[in-house]
Amino acid sequence: MRGQGLRIRTLTTVDSRKWLTVILIAAFGWSLASVKWDSGTLHTGGLSAVGEILGAAFTPQISGGVLKLGIIEAWTTVAYAVAGLTVALVLGAPIGVIASGVLARRRFISVINVGWARLVLAFFRSVHELVWAWIFIVAVGLSPMAAVLAIGIPYAGILGRVFAELLQDVPEEPLDSLRSAGASEWKVFLYGRLPMAMPDMLSYTFYRLECGIRAAAVMSFVGLGGLGHQVQLSLQDLDYGRAWTFLFFLIALVALVDLWSSMVRRRVSA
């Protein structure tokens, strides 16, 4: 009987995966069929323009003035990203802890806390940072605060959601040992759950910093300064070599953050 039950569950799992595969393929085909491929206006000289832009990557401008400007704008981009991530951590981390439901022992209170916290996080991340940027530009004007808040709010929703999942995925066996010793849920969280989840939380935070640098560059396109703004001005002037110089600065920033992330993860995991 046990073997038969296991066989039935295995067949059910296989059938579920087959149906899921069919649904995903059907959704993909439906999405392709729904796109109006013949709409829009195509640039007849697009291929030659792409070739010219890509070719300029091998001849970037490396004059002293351009490099100095690139360093200044790179610093501005990093400042926006770090400030935005700081806002995201201040908002998202505590709400994420509440959304995980790991601190409340009573189920009724846990359900209420998890419900409102996840609703707030969903609201934060449901609006793209570029839309938030336009909203804050209207509210506070064309200032760095608009870029920082535009990055911080949606990233708070994303970080909070991921932190909540990571805290929930911590194995319960080591935590039960703390509980059996009389530790409260706060102490279990501080001395057990949080230290075990911290490496993954740090890793994802660094990944969000990489995303924040790219987002800060995008914020620059709405006139807030940074590498993206210089790329935009260079493209408008058809100065593709100059544009690639600032793009290489952006690539270097992301690579440095990735290297820093790897070093921190190795130290935390050691």
> In the chain, pLDDT over 90 holds for what percent of residues?
21
**Residues 53-93: tens digit of each pLDDT:** 888 888 888 888 889 999 998 898 889 899 999 999 999 99
Average pLDDT, stretch 119-136?
90
CB 109 within 8 A of CB 185: no
Residue 84: the pLDDT is 92
CB 167 within 8 A of CB 102: yes
Check: pTM over 0.75? Answer yes or no: yes
Residue 95: the pLDDT is 93
Residue 23: the pLDDT is 86
Close Cβ partners of 224 (under 8 Å, ≥ 6 residues apart): 80, 133, 142, 143, 144, 146, 147
Residue 11: the pLDDT is 47
269, pLDDT greater than 90: no
Residue 268: the pLDDT is 67
61-269 CATH, one of 1.10.10.10, 3.40.50.980, 1.10.3470.10, 1.10.3720.10: 1.10.3720.10
Residue 12: the pLDDT is 59
Band (142; pLDDT cuts 50, 70, 90):
confident
- The tokens for 169 are 């995925």
Residue 94: the pLDDT is 94
